[in-house]
Chains A and B, each alone.
Chain A
Amino acid sequence: MKLAYWMYAGPAHIGTLRIASSFKHVHAIMHAPLGDDYFNVMRSMLERERDFTPVTASIVDRTVLARGSQEKVVDNIVRKDQEEAPDLIVLTPTCTSSILQEDLQNFVQRASLTAQCDVLLADVNHYRVNELQAADRTLQQIVQFYLERAQKKGELPPGKTEKPSVNIIGLTTLGFHNNHDRTELVKLMESLGIEVNVILPDGASVTEIQQLPQAWFNLVPYREVGPLTAKYLQSAFDQPTIDITPMGLVETARCIRAIQKVLNAQGANVDYEPFIDEQTRFVSNAAWFSRSIDCQNLTGKKAVVFGDSTHSAAMTKILAREMGIHVVLAGTYCKYDADWFREQVSEYCDEVLVSEDNGAIGDKIAQIEPAAIFGTQMERHVGKRLDIPCGVIAAPIHIQNFPVGYRPFLGYEGSNQIVDLVYNSFTLGMEDHLLEFFGGHDTKEVITKTISADSDLTWTKDALTELKRVPGFVRGKVKRNTEKFARDRNFTEISVEVLYAAKEAVGT
């Protein structure tokens, strides 16, 4: 048992449902108790989805507990097949069905005898994998199912497309800015003269799957969802994979160069260098931003980065390499992928943290006191509490992170967006600092910047006035140091004298 207040990645079935609901004409049926269909609320609310989420539950209740699901699951599959006529129904196990150990595979087989559609059992174990791993696995499972069948029936279209083409794999519903990234990636491929063969799974229909092998290569923009599918395609069809996330200028260029290499190996004879140069120097504003005096002011500022592997790693590199910001700590909650993450970021930050414990990262932030945080919604709230600005760069996210306007994180426009995000986070801090420096209008009481308890010490009026004269961005630290000093010496009241004694003692 684990005492947990919050979690970064959801349970396995959420990943499966994200894949199923990304496809067109795919319906998921969860084997779950009443109330587990919360996914529908998230999809409908966060994505402001106009259509009914194609997820229903085959309810596990007392009767099921006593006698087993018997006909229920099969009936529900057959019923949904008649009502919605989907191409595929994915039977989705949950934590409950994991321990009931019913033979769901048997239900699937029985149902597929009657149903017009295909029926699959998502091969995910609730207690072994999380949302992201399950999504990765389910996508691969569906792809493999359709390709193997087409292969067996001899229905696979032969050869590659005439022009260079790509499959973009891993864009899903409820993915962080995935819909905007999609547009940006398609635009990028267009500019490179590459045809987009299939985009998976977002908006795809399962009938498109058999076209996958026709692409010249696969692009997997995110680390979390898609690698297993690409790996399968590589081994079964010898299709090369590009798994460099084109996030930030340097990585985007690296990704494009990798594409160039892959295409030229297949005889395309392309040279993307002029394109990269033109985009980097004159189209995107990110390179120019790095050079501008605004960015100069950010040099050496401290930042903490935390999120999923993809976004946390890319962000760390952008901050350190492209903006000269001092990343004190880079972290991820993707524990299962820790080695990759360490390898990616080690040279760009002082410390790496791999943890699923939001308290641990919160405490780290409190200790480090960075000038800005780039993290998930949880870090944004830590930042709020500590009065540190935070840019949200990764899931878990809430409705604000599903903007209606165009906000990609990938490609050249993505780099522009990231510049704004980073700069706006820091300027807020800077503005605050200038206000303080020139005696601004801030008359608010200072509060303790600790996560836990309020201060048990009293400050005299004079000492408080003195404290207010300390510039805002270090005031919290001065206050804490003084209080620590006072506590160590058993003072209960903090006067101006104590304040200065503390200052001398710690040299703040």
Chain B
Amino acid sequence: MTLAKPQTQNLEFDCDTGNYHTFCPISCVAWLYQKIEDSFFLVIGTKTCGYFLQNAMGVMIFAEPRYAMAELEEGDISAKLNDYAELKRLCEQIKRDRNPSVIVWIGTCTTEIIKTDLEGLAPKLEAEIGIPIVVARANGLDYAFTQGEDTVLAAMAHRCPTSKQVTTDAEKEERSGMQKLLSFGRKKEETAAAAESEYRDHPNLVLFGSVPDPIVTQMTLELKKQGIKVGGWLPAKRYTELPVLDEGDYVVGINPFLSRTATTLMRRRKCKLIGAPFPIGPDGTRAWIEKICSVFGIEPQGLEEREAKIWKSLEDYLALVRGKSVFFMGDNLLEISLARFLVRCGMTVSEIGIPYMDKRYQAAELALLEKTCQDMGAPLPKIIEKPDNYNQLQRIKDIQPDLVITGMAHANPLEARGINTKWSVEFTFAQIHGFTNARDILELVTRPLRRNNSLRDLGWDKLVKEEATV
């Protein structure tokens, strides 16, 4: 019904009530503590925060994580206890037990409401205990899910050294960990000379966004093929390896939810932001590389063939998704990029729900989405910022999409009503960036379709009694 509406010329944006389900942004500690190996994340909040973390993290919680709650008690709320003394006591304990290179304080709703001056306390305590303390206010009052990482990285951006501060060779080596990574054990002198000549002459480029190490390697190699050298990555594997950032350096984001980090890098570190679509899907990856090349005045080599080859290898999956419709309820800000990729795969997207839409940071991605829809003759999706899940469920009931990408709160009830779902959270934790991983995205997207293909003839697709009121 809504699907068949005539196309509008431009993307349509709407904003609903914000009554939607998503993860609390403190969940970012789950992947960031694993990414930054020498860090310790201290979430300063209540039992509610702790309960969420321990349940959302599942088994990870049992693996002696490098994160903990500083659980606020009634005395903390009523200021009977001195927050500086309390935090000092806990941080000293963490230092004693784990000796991390950085402690990241995650401010929560409660610290916001009682106005704990974390930013003010941190430098004092940092001086006293001798461990850097980074403060990120990743709370549910202001942010959704993946935006938590954005607040942490924005705070970390301040801690990247300038080249003046990094003086010793050893430290330089450490800060540009990429070279070590790419030399694959060859002798150092050889590589240094050889590697340099493989790169074109371009300004320093730093990538931002936390991705698993294999993706770091893949993307770095992908750029190396174009003669582009990655000068560093925010965040790096270790806090002590944060990249060097100077005024005028170029930065490019790898994920769509990093607008604060981008802003911080531009305004506070005086870096130049390359606004590109995100390297999700082969189309996105190619556009991302091309944009970086174009900024540096480099003619991209062999990208078209590479993209075509990837698409060809995806054909078995594409046959499954072609012509199918998909509905994004919206909860992790990857929605625009994923929708753009899926339209290119031949799907139609009726609605893209998204927690927050930064039209400037995502400008190139939005433009590519629009272009992709035109190229594919697909209707332009409606983008709903701050969606209302209840209203969305009514629309889903009306249009009966082939696939709903949604949070876990709605997945089982929708499946019981015969609607295919894919948990959106999986896209956050799976490796989805670059050419190599396009297959993984489709693996996720097609899983419900494949599963239900095998169950199709059983006649059990509706498993609730009455057409329940959604």
Contacts and interface: CB of A to CB of B under 8 A. Distances in A.
A438 interface: no
A148 interface: no
Contacts of B416: 50-51
Contacts of A11: 46-48, 51
Contact of A4 (B22, B68, B109): B68
Contacts of A36: 24, 48, 52, 140
B61 A99 contact: no
A128 B74 CA distance: 8
Contacts of A290: none
A360 B155 CA distance: 35
A48 B411 CA distance: 10
A2 B55 contact: no
Contact of A41 (B86, B143, B408): B408
A398 B25 CA distance: 23
A128 B47 CA distance: 12
Nearest to A40: B409
A3 B48 contact: no
A273 B140 CA distance: 58
B469 interface: yes
Interface in B147-163: none
Contacts of B139: 33
A49 B90 CA distance: 40
A126 B45 CA distance: 13
B50 A7 contact: yes
Contacts of A404: none
Q: Assign chain B's interface to a size class.
A: 35 or more
Interface stretch (A55-63, A157-165, A367-375, A441-449): A55-63
Interface string B445-470: 00000000000000000011000111
A270 interface: no
A96 B45 CA distance: 10
Given A44-B408, A60-B109, A398-B58, A5 B46 contact: no
A381 B65 CA distance: 14
Interface centre among B58, B69, B73 (most CB of A within 10 A): B69
A126 B21 contact: no
B409 A53 contact: yes
A83 interface: yes
A87 interface: no
A165 B68 CA distance: 49
Given A1-B70, A37-B21, A84-B469, A62 B47 contact: no
A252 interface: no
A53 B393 CA distance: 13
Given A7-B51, A11-B51, A99-B110, A126 B46 contact: yes
B413 A65 contact: no
A33 B141 contact: yes
B125 to A, nearest CB: 13
B141 A60 contact: yes
A5 B19 CA distance: 30
A83 B470 CA distance: 9
A168 B145 CA distance: 41
A3 B463 CA distance: 45
A2 B73 contact: yes
B84 to A, nearest CB: 11
Contacts of B364: none
Interface in B1-55: 18-25, 44, 46-48, 50-52, 54-55
Contacts of B172: none
A44 B413 contact: yes
Interface string B368-406: 000000000000000000000010010000000000000
A13 interface: yes
A44 B410 CA distance: 7
Nearest to A399: B58
A34 B76 contact: no
Contact of A5 (B23, B65, B113, B468): B65
B54 A1 contact: no
A95 interface: yes
Contacts of B81: 1
B21 A40 contact: yes
B72 interface: yes
B54 A95 contact: no
A33 B21 CA distance: 11
Interface in A355-379: 378
Given A51-B468, A61-B142, A38 B56 contact: yes
B73 A127 contact: yes
B413 A50 contact: yes
A35 B410 contact: no
A300 interface: no
A14 B113 CA distance: 21
Contact of A38 (B55, B72, B89, B109): B55
Contacts of B72: 1
A490 B350 CA distance: 71
Nearest to A43: B409
Given A3-B90, A10-B51, A35-B25, A44 B70 contact: no
A6 B18 CA distance: 30
B422 to A, nearest CB: 15
Contact of A1 (B62, B89, B113): B89
B71 interface: yes
Tell which of A5, A83, A100, A378 has the most Cβ of chain B within 10 Å: A5
Contacts of B65: 5
Contacts of A2: 69-71, 73
A6 B55 CA distance: 10
Contacts of A98: 77
A112 to B, nearest CB: 21
Nearest to A13: B48
Contact of B140 (A34, A42, A127, A378): A34
Interface of A: 1-7, 10-11, 13-14, 32-38, 40-42, 44-45, 48-53, 56-57, 59-62, 65, 76, 83-84, 94-96, 98-100, 126-128, 130, 378, 381, 398
Given A44-B409, A128-B74, 17 more contacts: A1-B81, A1-B86, A1-B87, A3-B69, A3-B71, A11-B51, A13-B48, A34-B22, A34-B141, A35-B52, A36-B140, A38-B23, A38-B56, A41-B56, A53-B409, A65-B141, A83-B390
6 contacts: A1-B76, A4-B50, A38-B24, A45-B408, A45-B412, A60-B141
